[in-house]
């Protein structure tokens, strides 16, 4: 398998999306501006943010600087953002999305996702995304954290098929049924927190595999994502880790090792429903996170 940092997957509307990008969850504006600049300097061509992260302005600033510093054009970068839970609904999504573009210092995004499936609202939010797509302000649209039932709902009632479902995905949380459903319907699975937010990195079994290839556990996990066709967006605020997380192209995991890691699945979703607290964003975005309830409907 011949991958490079420029490797792309082709989404179901023909748009090409880099398979590796930088994620910026839990980074403030200044940190996001810095991480985005490091990432682009070191060859990343995709950035993933969300209004809920409270750092779109930092991403916009970092992106604008990085384009100038590296002689790149806006179209050289694949930019993803997401609709904030509190903005969901048709009119509200349309109204607030323009503010997101302004913060991101761009007049379009490459991929726009519904961040979470706010029940009762996401069907109208999806209609707004379809309009944004038709107006050319998003080159592709998709969802995040949607289980099979909700994906089926969007497929049935929407007029455009989601291009991507961005899910929590790491060796201990593989969402096998959702991945199979996505494969069947030509929806690309994208992994959020591919390193399990760092928690998977101490796994001794993965360390053993990493030692064999003379790579880090992070690199083994990210390479494992790529070899399965999964889009992956590791986050880091450290330049050397940003570099390390893109140094994935001088080794290949054997089929046995890919299968071995598949065997580690524990269906273990993260702390999201377990009391994660926002780090104090004055805009109040954090309220939506804290008031998010796990109704149990999320289960497969
Ligand atoms: P930091 O940002 O301080 O570098 P995920 O992408 O799964 O959410 O994981 C992100 C977490 O993993 C962050 O805590 C990040 O810390 C850490 N991390 C990212 N890349 C590496 C790496 N190559 N080695 C060790 N830790 C990493």
Distance CA 19, CA 245 (A): 13
The structural domains of the chain, ordered by start, are: 17-199+230-237 (3.20.20.100)
Element (H, E) at 165: strand 164-168
| 118-134 tens-digit pLDDT | 878 899 999 999 999 99
Q: What is the pLDDT of residue 133?
A: 98
* Contact (CB, 8 A) for 49 and 24: yes
Check whether 266 has a pLDDT greater than 90: yes
> Could you identify the atom of ligand 1 that is nearest to the CA of residue 23?
6
Give me the phi and psi of 3, to 5 degrees please. -105, 155
Least confident among 52-56, 58-62, 158-162, 259-263? 52-56
Q: Please tell me if the CB atom of residue 236 comes closer than 6 angstroms to any atom of ligand 1.
A: yes
Atom 17 of ligand 1: nearest residue by CA position: 198
Average pLDDT over residues 238-265: 98
pLDDT in tens, 201-223: 999 999 999 999 999 999 999 99
Q: Pick the atom of ligand 1 nearest to 194's CA.
A: 7
Q: Calculate how far, in angstroms, residue 222's C-alpha sits from the geometric centre of ligand 1.
A: 12
Closest CA to ligand 1's atom 9:
197
Output the residue whose Cα is nearest ligand 1's atom 4. Answer: 236
Which of 258, 232, 185, 233 is closest to 1 using CA atoms? 258
Rounded to the nearest 10°, the torsion over CA 187, 191, 192, 195 is: 180
List pLDDT tens digits, range 5-21: 999 999 999 999 999 99
Going from the C-alpha of 262 to that of each of 153, 170, 227, 282, the distances in angstroms are 29, 10, 12, 41
Asked if residue 261 has pLDDT above 70, the reply is yes
| pTM reported for the whole predicted model | 0.93
Instruction: Please list the active-site residues.
Output: 53
Indicate if the pLDDT at residue 287 is higher than 50: no
The pLDDT, as a whole number, for residue 120 is 81
Q: Band of the pLDDT at 52, cuts 50, 70, 90?
A: confident
Check if 150 has its Cβ closer than 6 Å to any atom of ligand 1.
Answer: no
Atom from ligand 1 closest to the CA of residue 242: 20
Residue nearest ligand 1's atom 1 by CA: 236
**% of the chain with per-residue pLDDT over 90:** 80
pLDDT above 70: residue 278: no
* Residue-level pLDDT at 191: 98
Provide the pLDDT confidence category of residue 300 given band limits of 50, 70 and 90. Answer: very low
Whether residue 147 is predicted with pLDDT greater than 90 in this model: the reply is: no
Q: How close is the Cα of 256 to the center of ligand 1, in Å? A: 26
């Amino acid at each position: 398998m011949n991958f490079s940092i420029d490797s792309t997957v082709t989404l179901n509307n023909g748009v090409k999306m880099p398979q590796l990008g930088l994620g910026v969850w839990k980074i403030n504006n200044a940190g996001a501006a810095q991480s985005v600049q490091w990432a682009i300097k070191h060859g990343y061509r995709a950035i993933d943010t969300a209004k809920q992260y409270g750092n779109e302005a930092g991403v916009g600033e970092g992106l604008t600087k990085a384009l100038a510093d590296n002689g790149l054009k806006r179209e050289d970068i694949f930019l993803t953002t997401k609709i904030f839970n509190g903005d969901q609904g048709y009119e509200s999504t349309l109204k607030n999305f323009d503010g997101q573009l302004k913060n991101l210092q761009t007049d379009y995004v490459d991929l726009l996702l519904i961040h979470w499936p706010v029940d009762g609202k996401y069907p109208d939010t999806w209609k707004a995304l379809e309009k944004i797509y038709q107006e050319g302000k998003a080159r592709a649209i998709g969802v995040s954290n949607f289980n099979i039932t909700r994906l089926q709902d969007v497929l049935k009632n929407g007029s455009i098929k989601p291009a991507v479902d961005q899910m929590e995905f790491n060796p201990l949380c593989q969402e096998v049924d959702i991945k199979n459903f996505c494969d069947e319907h030509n929806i690309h699975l994208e992994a959020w927190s591919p390193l399990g937010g760092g928690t998977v990195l101490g796994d001794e079994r993965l360390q053993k595999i990493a030692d064999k290839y003379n790579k880090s556990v992070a690199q083994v996990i990210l390479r494992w994502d790529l070899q399965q066709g999964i889009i992956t967006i590791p986050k880091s605020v450290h330049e050397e880790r940003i570099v390390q997380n893109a140094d994935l192209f001088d080794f290949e995991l054997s089929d046995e090792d890919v299968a071995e890691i598949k065997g580690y699945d524990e269906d273990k979703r993260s702390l999201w429903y377990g009391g994660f607290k926002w780090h104090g964003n004055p805009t109040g975005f954090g309220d939506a996170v804290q008031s998010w309830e796990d109704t149990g409907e999320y289960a497969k």
